[in-house]
């Protein structure tokens, strides 16, 4: 069984990216499970908070999910041509304590959806230095940029476009296959 931890970088209820993650979990091939983690309860990083209270429970949960996963799927929005602060904050928290070791050598794929015409090209590219610093192994065999997402998702954030679902299924299948081959 292959396990992938999927994280959406959006907190919005009807988020395109959370919907993309849900669809990826639904479309995962046999023998693959995508665990949908949540960044919703991760506080803003504060070294004083960490020193006083330790790693917050929401972060400990994400760290445990990452520890148990064969790979990591980041589903990133793009805000002002870059990585959403709330998403970067969650990854920063996850790297604290013994968390950095959890990222080392972990295969990571990045996808994203945007209402604009370029998908999440810039945000996906902005993740590369972060992933390098964390010591992950970015998966470059596929790319998934969902443009004009407003026409592809319903008002609850569910991916309804058959062509996009097909592309997503192939992407997830390719990432999962790479994990079963050992990266």
pLDDT digits (tens, 9 = 90+) for 59-118: 999 999 999 999 999 999 999 999 999 999 999 999 999 999 999 999 999 999 999 999
CATH number of the domain residue 45 falls in: 3.40.50.360
Closest C-alpha among 125, 111, 44, 41 to residue 76: 111
Closest C-alpha among 54, 67, 139, 140 to residue 103: 67
Residue whose tokens read 């230095």:
129
Per the structure, the complete domain to which residue 163 belongs is given by 2-180
pLDDT tens digit string along 157-171? 999 999 999 999 999
Alpha-carbon distance of 82 to 24, in angstroms, equals: 23
Question: pTM value?
Answer: 0.96
Q: How many domains does the chain have?
A: 1
Mapping DSSP to helix (H, G, I), strand (E, B) and coil, where does residue 25 land?
Answer: helix
Helix (H) or strand (E) holding 70: none
Strand partners, 137: 107
């Amino acid at each position: 069984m292959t396990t992938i931890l999927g994280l959406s970088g959006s907190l919005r209820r009807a988020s395109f990216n959370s919907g993309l993650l849900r669809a990826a979990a639904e479309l995962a091939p046999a023998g693959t499970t995508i665990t949908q983690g949540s960044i919703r309860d991760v506080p803003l990083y504060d070294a004083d908070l960490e020193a006083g209270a330790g790693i917050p429970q929401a972060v400990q949960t994400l760290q445990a999910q990452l520890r148990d996963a064969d790979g990591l799927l980041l589903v990133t929005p793009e805000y002002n041509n870059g990585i959403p602060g709330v998403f970067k904050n969650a990854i920063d928290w996850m790297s604290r304590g013994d968390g950095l070791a959890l990222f080392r050598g972990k295969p990571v794929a990045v996808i994203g959806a945007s209402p604009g015409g370029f998908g999440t090209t810039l945000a996906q590219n902005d993740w590369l230095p972060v992933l390098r610093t964390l010591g992950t192994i970015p998966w470059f065999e596929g790319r998934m940029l969902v443009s004009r997402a407003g026409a592809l998702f319903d008002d609850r954030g569910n991916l309804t476009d058959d062509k996009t679902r097909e592309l997503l299924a192939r992407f997830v299948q390719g990432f999962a296959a790479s994990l079963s081959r050992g990266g």
